[in-house]
Amino acid sequence: MARPSHVRDSVRALLESSDRHDWSIEDLQAGVLETGLSADYSSVFRAVNWLERRGVIDEVALGDSRVRYELAGRHHDHVRCDECGTVSSLPDCLLERAEGRVEKGTGFAVTGHRLLFSGLCPACR
Ligand SMILES: [Zn+2]
Ligand SMILES: [Zn+2]
């Protein structure tokens, strides 16, 4: 079994090598195995948690029960295709100004939001 630091490096390299927004643990494990490292689900799961705690990767909420991840970076929101599941990012955040209204209306200190549009991607529409 590969060392934890090697699994973490491999997971990180995978995320950095693509602009996908919807990596599941299973996808990451498959990618790690392709590089020739032996890593079971739980070692990939631990690597993902380690990277998330350090702010290297972010969890992405896509409206289903599976947890997905992407490389952490500038905040952006997502749109997902109802037909094929392709996920893209929006160029600008539409909700930055709404956060002020949420704070005014609720007294909460807003720390973030999750917004997901759905529709048909250019290939499916
Ligand atoms: Zn994203
Ligand atoms: Zn946003």
CA of residue 72 to ligand 1 center, whole Å: 8
Does 92 score more than 90 pLDDT? Answer: no
Does 30 score more than 90 pLDDT? Answer: yes
Q: How many CB atoms lie within 10 A of CB 14?
A: 19
Can you tell me the mean pLDDT for 60-72? Answer: 89
Amino acid identity, residue 42? S
Percent of the chain's residues with pLDDT above 70: 100
Q: How far apart are CA 120 and CA 109, in angstroms?
A: 34
Residue 68 main-chain phi, psi, to 5 deg: -125, 160
Percent of the chain's residues with pLDDT above 90: 84
Q: Which residues contact 46 (CB under 8 A, 6 or more apart)?
A: 4, 7
CA of residue 3 to ligand 2 center, whole Å: 37
Note the ligand closest to the C-alpha atom of 89: 1
Note the ligand closest to the C-alpha atom of 79: 1
Q: How many CB atoms lie within 10 A of CB 48?
A: 25
Q: Which residue carries 């749109």 as its tokens?
A: 79
CA of residue 42 to ligand 1 center, whole Å: 24
64 vs 11, more confident: 11
List pLDDT tens digits, range 36-62. 999 999 999 999 999 999 999 999 988
Mean pLDDT for all residues in the chain = 94
Ordered by where they begin, the domains of the chain are 6-71 (1.10.10.10), 78-119 (3.30.1490)
CA of residue 63 to ligand 2 center, whole Å: 15
CA of residue 113 to ligand 1 center, whole Å: 13
Q: Which three-class secondary structure state does DSSP give residue 89? A: strand
